[in-house]
Homo-oligomer: A and B are copies of this chain.
């Protein structure tokens, strides 16, 4: 049925998908290429194929190498479960767990990455030179699981977010790719693409990865929308460089993440209508960025409530800024920003936290943001045995006895000038040279 261009990995005559799905998919790819060789006969070309991965556990020992357009790899379940929680449960309790591993259509990445060779650790490597750029490869609704992180010397291997593995690595320029409905877990890099055009990363679950989505090289006109994501403390949830016209919208990004969104050399792009939650400063970082819009987002920064991870952070001090902007002509409009932290966790001790910090550049426009900064005078440390969910929800919902935390709601460094800051804080919460910036504070009563 379904013609020759429909493949089921459990129904292919070469290899065993349960012991090495990589060998099976590469064999299927060879078959597609052997059958589809003509580019232009009767207006027909090489339409590609769909490779279906039913629910199941599939070890991957051989890297999948994709160099054809119009390939769709599709599963029947993103299969996320929190491996981080499990690894931080005492192992003697594992026998009582209903599930140990993620599930769905699950790829177990058994690759052994070579040191300093990022490509070697990619479960799916997409690469093709020449014209046109490889186009319309689609990844949909399966799970890529890196299984374990590795020790970095601290003796806490499963909390390092390091293992040299990548889920999907697109090494060459590509057009109109789709990544949808995936679950991507316990990989050092979830999804890494170079030179993207018209990319869609939509409605995925990419969490407990060192980094979630990285757009490297350069690119344009793409969207990262409606995802649930959260990287480890060492990496980015979303990273982009040298990009124009990127839309980051309607994502719910949770901790940890060294940053939530880190843009370097990104221009004329949008970060809108997202919900961002972080345990550290530096939630949104713009380096050498211009004419971007940050609007209608909810930012929350509080302190790590879960004991196993309280020893880790991203190393930044609290005056770095939750929003840290180097660049010109960016817009920060109509956001809600909550920072709530007990005084003893400020880093370094006694520092005044900064919420929005304009570090360098000119003519940024910051208007109509609502900043709520609070602290709790005498909060007790949570008991060490509360679950991650209970700890996080408890922290989110425990708001009694909050008192105002003194912050620099907006700080403009000397290297940044001609900015416009309107209705975002009182003058007493603003640290800037009022002679070289425009400031209108929230009026008094």
Contact = CB atoms under 8 A, between A and B. Distances in A.
Interface stretch (A100-108, A117-125, A155-163, A341-349): A100-108
Interface in A399-421: 399, 420
A273 B252 contact: no
Given A72-B76, A81-B175, A228-B223, A389 B52 contact: no
Contact of A108 (B43, B76, B104, B368): B43
A3 to B, nearest CB: 4
B242 A397 contact: yes
A431 interface: no
A271 to B, nearest CB: 9
Contacts of A200: 203, 205, 228
> How many protomers of this protein does the assembly include?
3
Interface residues of A, number: 149
B220 A81 contact: no
Contacts of A50: 54-55, 76-77
Contacts of A268: 277, 298, 300, 338, 396
A135 B331 contact: no
A384 interface: no
Interface string A268-311: 11101111010000000000001111011110100000000000
A315 interface: no
Interface string A199-214: 0101101010000000
A173 B265 CA distance: 42
A360 interface: no
A43 B297 CA distance: 39
A362 to B, nearest CB: 11
Interface stretch (A317-325, A350-358, A375-383, A436-444): A436-444
A423 interface: yes
A202 to B, nearest CB: 6
Given A3-B54, A39-B97, A250 B225 contact: yes
16 contacts: A3-B10, A3-B11, A40-B101, A45-B57, A50-B54, A70-B103, A176-B205, A176-B228, A222-B252, A245-B252, A246-B275, A268-B277, A268-B396, A270-B273, A293-B297, A295-B295
